[in-house]
Amino acid sequence: MDLASDRPMGWWQSWRVFWSTSWPAWTVGMFLTMQAASLLPAEQMFSFSFAIGGLFQVLYFAGHVLLIPRMARKRFRGFRLIVEREDGTASKLTPREWALVAWRIALPQLLLLGVVSVAANMLALSGDARLLQSVSSLGRLIHLFGVGPLAVKYAVTEPYADFRFRVE
């Protein structure tokens, strides 16, 4: 089976695919996190801020993973991703294949999250709030416009044993 795509996937296409799963996961994760945080008394909010941030990250990545089958169903502006089998037929992702794609999309994002978290914790100890906010904002931009789309491109162009993604 030839694993090369009929059309190579560009950065803008990978960003669209990433955004199609990212924004719903972010929205639902933020909503549920705010609902959970609203149950806390106001005076305890700061002491639970780390847990609240962790809850959002878990909800975001869970939502992101659950929306991966959407990648192969959604028609994007100007292109579509097709899951193609060895015999040339198009089909949906099986749960095992879904997990493989999810791992390849989530791993680079989790690594970035770890690096930004370590940097933010080191800056929080120094007490420089402006620098901490800048690093946090920079991490979000790198995630949104760099690591997220590149992770999608990596997962889509990666050779799999039983299928491939074809850009149509």
Q: Tell the residue number behind the tokens 């799963």, with chain if given.
A: 21
**Bridge partners, residue 53, by sequence:** none
Query: Which one-letter DSSP state was computed for residue 80?
Result: E
**Bridge partners, residue 163, by sequence:** 85
Least confident of 35-49, 51-65, 106-120, 152-166: 35-49
Taking the complete model, does pTM exceed 0.95, yes or no? no
Q: What per-residue confidence (pLDDT) applies to 86? A: 84
Q: What per-residue confidence (pLDDT) applies to 1? A: 39
Tens of pLDDT, residues 44-82: 877 787 788 889 989 999 998 899 988 888 888 888 888
- Give the SS3 label for residue 115: helix
Tens of pLDDT, residues 120-152: 778 777 777 788 778 888 888 898 899 999 999
Closest CA relative to residue 105, chosen from 29, 74, 4, 97: 97
Task: State the Cα–Cα distance between residues 168 and 135, nearest whole angstrom.
Answer: 38
Task: State the Cα–Cα distance between residues 143 and 151, nearest whole angstrom.
Answer: 10
Q: What's the CA dihedral at 122, 127, 132, 134 to 10 degrees?
A: -140
